[in-house]
Amino acid sequence: MTENYERQELHDRLSLIESMIAEGRRTTESWGWTFVLWGVAYYVAIAWATWGSGKWAWPVTMIAAGMLTGMLASRQAGRRPETTMGRAIGAIWIALGISMFVLFMAMGFSHRFETHVFVAIVGAMLGMANATSSMVLKWKAQFACAVVWWAAAVAACFGTEDQCTIVFLAAIFFAQIVFGIYAMICEARRRRLHNASAGATNG
């Protein structure tokens, strides 16, 4: 009797953990647009720093992207209930965003914007955030993004400045824009299935 109760309790706990992980992944998929938005923001900042004012490029672009993200996120948060897993994953990315903003601003104003060091640091930070999120959510696709960023961080320590820039641009494309679009597609597919099942039930 006691053994059956403990087995059932363990099963219930595992089911709860799995449901929380699934909900966390769904929440991350619903924020796929932020990956695309920040990927585009990185491209804008890089182009501005290359052909314009390197001192202001990253701080201004990051502030603008942060404000736009905040406005869109506040609208989305009102339509979706907050979960413990969602808050945990969100905390990772908020902490990363603050860290990167402080870094970009300091490097820009101090004129210490050295490409190799910059890409290595950013790659390592984004790799850590993606890896942490993917391990919590058990999401292989996001762990692949972490690998891309880590590879960019390592590659930034070798080669020329042009090669370093190319690696950074490629990492942004695959680990930000492509992954963000993939997450958005996953969410759209899930919504279609949900609507279809809801329609079948009502019918």
Size (the chain), residues: 203
Structure confidence at residue 97 (pLDDT): 86
The torsion of the CA quartet 168, 170, 173, 176, rounded to 10 degrees, works out to -50
Round to whole Å and give the CA distance between 38 and 15: 34
Structure confidence at residue 146 (pLDDT): 97
Among 40, 171, 17, residue whose Cα is nearest residue 25: 17
Structure confidence at residue 106 (pLDDT): 81
Round to whole Å and give the CA distance between 175 and 181: 10
**How many DSSP H helices and E strands does the chain contain?**
8, 0
- CA diameter of the chain: 74
Which tokens in the block code for residue 99?
């860290």
Q: Which DSSP string do the residues of 115-153 spell out, in sequence order? A: HHHHHHHHHHHHHHHHHHHHHHHT-HHHHHHHHHHHHHH
Which tokens in the block code for residue 179?
């992954």
Structure confidence at residue 65 (pLDDT): 92
Residues of the chain with pLDDT under 70: 1-22, 24, 53-54, 77-82, 108, 194, 198-203
Structure confidence at residue 184 (pLDDT): 94
What confidence tens digit (pLDDT) does each residue in 137-178 have? 889 999 999 999 999 999 999 989 999 999 999 999 999 999
Angle at 103 between CA 58 and CA 105, to 5 degrees: 45
Enumerate the domain spans of the chain: 33-74+86-202
Note the Cα 84 to chain centre separation in Å.
Answer: 18
Structure confidence at residue 76 (pLDDT): 72
